[in-house]
């Protein structure tokens, strides 16, 4: 057996280990820098109080971020308040608009991630949970990036090959500006949104690139659909653009294949399980909506957050433009009176959705 091809096929593992080491090094530098700034600001004089929501006496906070970012400070304060109340959803913030506080409808997943990292830190090092949140704020991004690197690179190596896996690992660790968000010492939910965006697109690319008849075709679409639904829960603006981009990509690929590729020599893009993808995404989005807002806030019409109408709109668009038409649409086409009406319907249908073949 020739050893050189074997080593080349495993080179992506070396790349993955190298970028993980790079991420760990940057995270250690950011943590040391934040601790140094907090000490210079007098943080070493703050007494620890395990009964305080922040972990420090008097409810003060010690952490000084390298730059002022009110959104990052809000994530820390809200996570500490959520853990202090022993609540899993935070619908009211008492730290703002004193003394009454204010309602909040910001999605919960990033607070859960910060809380999970803080709980692990508290268990491992014996810190009060509120104090551990400050440390978790600096480590949550790099930890999420490492999980994304390992999972996505293994996925790419399994279904796409060694070279795409190595290049993908480098892009996730060094690509600007996405990688900078993970490595930034400023906590924010954008890192979780980017992680879900990767998993919403990568399985679709894998399913389209993989040879016909390869295993796991429908599972790729289901994984992408679930990730897209979770992305809608977290950041409906960015996730909607990603979902529309996936729909447009499938639409164009189907149209291109219909016009320029022989169906006998290539897999039919329109016959791929697009509806499974749409149903998985819509179902996940609806379940996330119920989990986030049930039972008291289900009737709200906050379109800046996840809403059932987004899921229904995406499902309808996929059913009309990529997947094969439903039975009632085919029946309507056959029942159209006269050849002229039927031809006009087919032409208009092909112009809007070239993947459909009546």
Per-residue pLDDT tens over the stretch 10-66: 788 889 999 999 999 988 888 888 888 887 766 667 778 777 888 887 778 888 787
Q: Where a domain ends, among 188, 206, 226?
A: 188
Radius of gyration of the chain from Cα atoms?
25
For residue 266, pLDDT over 50 is answered with no
Mean pLDDT, the chain, integer: 78
Per the omega criterion (within 30 degrees of 0), is the bond before 177 cis? yes
Q: Which of 71, 66, 77 is nearest to 32 (CA)?
A: 66
Q: What is the pLDDT of residues 62-121, one digit of tens each?
A: 887 877 778 888 899 899 989 988 888 888 888 777 778 888 888 999 999 999 999 999
Which runs of E-coded beta strand occur in 209-277? none
Same domain, 38 and 150: yes
357 assigned to some structural domain: no
Same domain, 301 and 219: yes
Tokens (6 digits) for 44: 């070493």
Same domain, 140 and 235: no
Same domain, 81 and 101: yes
Using 50, 70 and 90 to split pLDDT, how confident is the model at 147?
Answer: very high
Q: What is the pLDDT of residue 178?
A: 80
Same domain, 251 and 304: yes
348 assigned to some structural domain: no
Q: What is the pTM of this model?
A: 0.81
Same domain, 54 and 120: yes
For tokens 């050849």, the residue is: 339
Same domain, 169 and 237: no
Q: What is the pLDDT of residues 115-145, one digit of tens each?
A: 999 999 999 988 889 888 988 888 899 999 9
For residue 352, pLDDT over 60 is answered with no
Q: How far is CA 145 from CA 71, 122, 227, in A?
A: 20, 21, 16
Domain total of the chain: 2
Same domain, 108 and 206: no
Q: Provide mean pLDDT across the span 297-324.
A: 70
Using 50, 70 and 90 to split pLDDT, how confident is the model at 264?
Answer: very low
SS (H, E, C) 11-33: HHHHHHHHHHHHHHHHHHHHHHH
Residues 6+ apart with CB under 8 A from 10: 162
Q: Provide mean pLDDT across the span 142-159.
A: 92
Report the C-alpha gap between 30 and 266 in whole angstroms.
Answer: 50
49 assigned to some structural domain: yes
197 assigned to some structural domain: yes
Same domain, 154 and 44: yes
* Other C-beta atoms lying within 10 Å of the C-beta of residue 219: 13
Q: Where a domain ends, among 170, 188, 206?
A: 188
Q: Where a domain ends, among 173, 188, 203?
A: 188
Better-scored residue on pLDDT, 308 or 316? 308
Same domain, 204 and 296: yes
Query: Over the range 46-64, which residues count as b (16 or more CB within 10 Å of their CB) and which as e?
Result: beebeebbbbbeeeebbbb
Same domain, 254 and 283: yes
59 assigned to some structural domain: yes
Using 50, 70 and 90 to split pLDDT, how confident is the model at 4?
Answer: low
160 assigned to some structural domain: yes
Q: What is the pLDDT of residue 263?
A: 47
Q: Which domain holds residue 48?
A: 8-188
In the chain, what's the furthest Cα-to-Cα distance? 87
State the Cα angle at 71 between 69 and 74, rounded to 5°.
115
Using 50, 70 and 90 to split pLDDT, how confident is the model at 146?
Answer: very high
Q: What is the pLDDT of residue 153?
A: 93
């Amino acid at each position: 057996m020739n050893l050189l091809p074997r080593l080349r096929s495993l080179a992506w593992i070396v790349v993955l280990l190298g970028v993980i080491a790079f991420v760990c090094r940057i995270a250690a530098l950011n943590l040391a820098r934040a601790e140094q700034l907090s000490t210079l600001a007098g943080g070493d004089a703050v007494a620890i109080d395990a009964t305080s929501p922040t972990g420090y006496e008097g409810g003060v906070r010690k952490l000084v971020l390298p730059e002022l970012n009110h959104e990052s400070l809000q994530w820390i304060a809200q996570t500490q308040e959520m853990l202090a109340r022993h609540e899993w959803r935070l619908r009211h913030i008492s730290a703002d608009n004193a003394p009454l506080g204010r309602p909040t409808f910001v999605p919960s997943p990033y607070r859960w991630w910060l809380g999970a990292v803080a709980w692990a830190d508290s268990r491992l090092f014996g810190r009060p949970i509120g104090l551990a949140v400050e440390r978790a704020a600096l480590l949550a991004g790099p930890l999420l990036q490492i999980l994304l690197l390992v999972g996505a690179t293994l996925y790419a190596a399994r279904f796409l090959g060694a070279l795409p896996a190595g290049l993908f690992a480098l892009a996730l660790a060094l690509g600007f500006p996405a990688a900078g968000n993970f490595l930034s010492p400023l906590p924010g939910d954008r890192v979780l949104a980017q992680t879900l965006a990767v998993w919403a697109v990568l399985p679709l690319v894998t399913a389209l690139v993989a040879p016909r008849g390869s295993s796991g075709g429908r599972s790729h679409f289901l994984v992408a659909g679930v990730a897209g639904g979770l992305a809608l829960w977290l950041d409906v603006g960015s996730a909607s653009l990603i979902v529309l981009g996936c729909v447009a990509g499938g639409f164009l690929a189907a149209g291109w294949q219909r016009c320029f590729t022989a169906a006998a020599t290539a897999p039919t893009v329109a016959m791929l399980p697009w509806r499974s993808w749409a149903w998985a995404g819509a179902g996940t989005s609806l379940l996330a909506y119920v989990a986030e807002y049930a039972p008291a806030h289900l009737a709200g019409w906050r379109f800046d957050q996840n809403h059932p109408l987004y899921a229904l709109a995406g499902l309808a668009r996929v059913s009309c433009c990529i997947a094969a038409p439903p039975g009632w649409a085919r029946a309507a086409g056959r029942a159209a009176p006269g050849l002229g009406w039927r031809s006009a319907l087919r032409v208009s249908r092909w112009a809007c959705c070239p993947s459909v073949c009546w």
